[in-house]
Homo-oligomer: A and B are copies of this chain.
């Protein structure tokens, strides 16, 4: 049925340049051309109180101010919604991260600079998220409509592991929600860093030291990485 599609500009609107017309199936690259950026995922990981959400929001704000399309996935918009059926059991935590990886992959596929801010303490779970995000889209493989199938393997990585490496004692001294106090008293069991492990990333693309650098410096560090990776400078191509 796809061959029936005959699309024209229905309204005299400015047409984005360089749109490649496929037969009813546009690609990630087409969307990226319109947005002037590459879709990607910055996967923040770090202890509670390390500054993940604060830096994530600051990065989103800075990108937006420069005209980029960005979006943060964090506890505020995911915990009470998509993952509201999950508790804090090990199986649920794993499923929590799996779904996040899948949703982040969809956002990256849509062309957005996607920022996730969750503790995500296990390397295995983060590696799985990376695998999901960097896998070629099922639709691309299935449909065989891509004109250059070889570009699937040559597509640059979209996943950036961002280690917000704030020492435990600094996180505990910040303790904005008094969670560490409750964890120390035993009121919260299995608390990452206190009574549950945090596995530091082995080879993060970005490592932030929030106890030494300002938020602005952390944001600039990430922007440089994104620019070097060609995420930002697709603008106006």
Q: What residues of chain A have their CB less than 8 Å away from a CB belonging to chain B? A: 1-2, 4-11, 13-16, 19, 21-22, 24-26, 30-31, 34-35, 51, 54, 57-58, 60-62, 64-71, 73, 76-78, 80-82, 85, 95, 99, 102-103, 105-107, 109-112, 132, 137-139, 142-143, 174, 176, 214-216, 219-220, 223, 227, 232, 235
In the bound complex, residues from chain B placing their C-beta under 8 Å from that of A16 are 64-67
For residue A231, give the distance in angstroms from its CB to the closest CB of chain B. Answer: 13
A220 to B103 Cα, complex, angstroms? 30
Q: Is the CB of A138 within 8 A of B67?
A: no
In the bound complex, residues from chain B placing their C-beta under 8 Å from that of A102 are 81-82
For residue A159, give the distance in angstroms from its CB to the closest CB of chain B. Answer: 15
**A60 in complex: contacting residue of B9, B26, B66, B132, CB < 8 Å:** B26
